[in-house]
Amino acid sequence: MLRFLTSFFGNLFQIMLHLLTSKKNIIQNLLSIYVKTIGGSTLCIDVDPKCKVSYIKKLVAPQLGLEPNEMKVIFAGKELGDDIVIGENDQAVPLDLIRPNLKQVPCLACLEAPEIMFTFPCQNDHIACLYCFKQYCMSKLTERQFWQHPEYGYTLICPNGCADSFIKEIHHFRLLDDVNYERYHRFATEEFVLQAGGILCPQPGCGMGILGNYETMSKLQNTNRTRWWMHAHDMH
């Protein structure tokens, strides 16, 4: 009897361990994605890393009262196509512009020679210490002077204005603190909407935007002009 109970509980333990391990593997195989709308709300969804952007749209669209084909997924100022696989390139991104300052080159801004430097991708290899680089980013962010590049997204060039000096890997901007990095993505999305012919809500702090075809946008703009005229007329 004792042998039976020992065997029974041993098998039960093995089964429970197997179930826990399987459950853990299932959880680990899911990818948590946080989708932030241009209006500021955040949606969290768990998906298979092998799913496509089109599937993300199908999950998120009903929660926003939209159709999947009415949505655009934008990351750092670039639209992600429907056929892009979410976890296809899920690996560490090398920040190759952050390097040790072996030659003790002075920073463009503070003129000190940092141990670790940010090297701008220009012919002159201008450098900045990490602190000054972050200050440069925050200044340009506040002034809305980032570049909306069709290939690299929302990015910057060398402070000296050197030719062909766009920062290609936008993950370098993760050096910003969380608040400014969030601003970076929000501004990048808003700039994408504007350059794509869309409009943003004029209400301060709203952040909502609309993208549509030429006919729809013309109607919206004409409607807004009419409302503005009626409002101005009523004031008189």
Residue 75 maps to which CATH number? 3.10.20.90
Instruction: Give the Cα separation of 46 and 29 in Å (integer).
Output: 10
- Residue indicated by tokens 């020992």: 6
Same domain, yes or no: 61 and 145: no
| Residue 146 counted as domain residue | yes
3-class DSSP assignment, residue 98: strand
In a domain, 122, yes or no: yes
Whether 189 and 224 map to the same domain: the answer is: no
Residue 178 lies in a domain: yes
Instruction: Give the 3-state secondary structure of residue 14.
Output: helix
Q: Which domain holds residue 54?
A: 31-80
Rounded to whole angstroms, how far apart are CA atoms 98 and 129? 9
Q: How far is CA 114 from CA 135, 136, 171, 174, 195, in A?
A: 15, 16, 21, 19, 38
Token pair 């709203």 is found at: 206
List per-residue pLDDT tens for the chain, 236 residues long. 444 444 544 554 454 544 444 444 444 567 777 776 766 677 777 888 788 888 888 888 888 788 888 777 877 677 788 888 876 655 567 788 999 999 999 999 999 999 999 999 999 999 999 999 999 999 999 999 999 998 899 999 999 999 999 999 989 999 999 899 988 988 888 888 888 888 877 776 666 677 665 454 454 445 443 333 333 333 33
Q: Does residue 26 lie in a domain region?
A: no
Report strand pairing: 199-200 vs 209-210. antiparallel
Same domain, residue pair 122 and 206? no
DSSP assignment letter at 126? -
Structure tokens at 178: 């969380």
Asked whether residue 62 is domain-assigned, the answer is yes
